[in-house]
Amino acid sequence: MLADITPVILTYNESANIGRSLERLRWAREVVIVDSGSTDDTLAIAARFPNTRVVHRPFDSHSAQWRFATAETGVTSGWILRLDADYMMEPALREEIAGLTPDPATAAYRIAFTYCMDGRPLRASLYPSQPVLFRRGREAFVQDGHTEKLRIDGTVVPLSNRLLHDDRKSIERWLQSQSRYQAAEAEKLATRPWSELSWPDRLRCTRVLGPIAVAVHCLFVRGLVLDGAAGLSYTAQRVTADMILSMHLLRRDLGK
Question: Three-state SS for 100?
Answer: coil
Give the separation between CA 22 and CA 106, rounded to whole angstroms: 27
Domain boundaries along the sequence of the chain: 2-165, 171-255
Which superfamily does CATH assign the domain made up of 2-165 to? Spore Coat Polysaccharide Biosynthesis Protein SpsA; Chain A (3.90.550.10)
pLDDT in tens, the chain (256 residues): 999 999 999 999 999 999 999 999 999 999 999 999 999 999 999 999 999 999 999 999 999 999 999 999 999 999 999 999 999 999 999 999 999 999 999 999 999 999 999 999 999 999 999 999 999 999 999 999 999 999 999 999 999 999 999 999 999 999 999 999 999 999 999 999 999 999 999 999 999 999 999 999 999 999 999 999 999 999 999 999 999 999 999 999 999 7
Closest listed residue to residue 168, CA positions, set 2, 65, 19, 25: 19
What does pTM read for this prediction?
A: 0.95
For 224-243, what is each residue's pLDDT tens digit?
A: 999 999 999 999 999 999 99
Contact 18/45 with Cβ under 8 angstroms? yes
| pLDDT, tens digit, 9 for 90 and up, residues 126-156 | 999 999 999 999 999 999 999 999 999 999 9
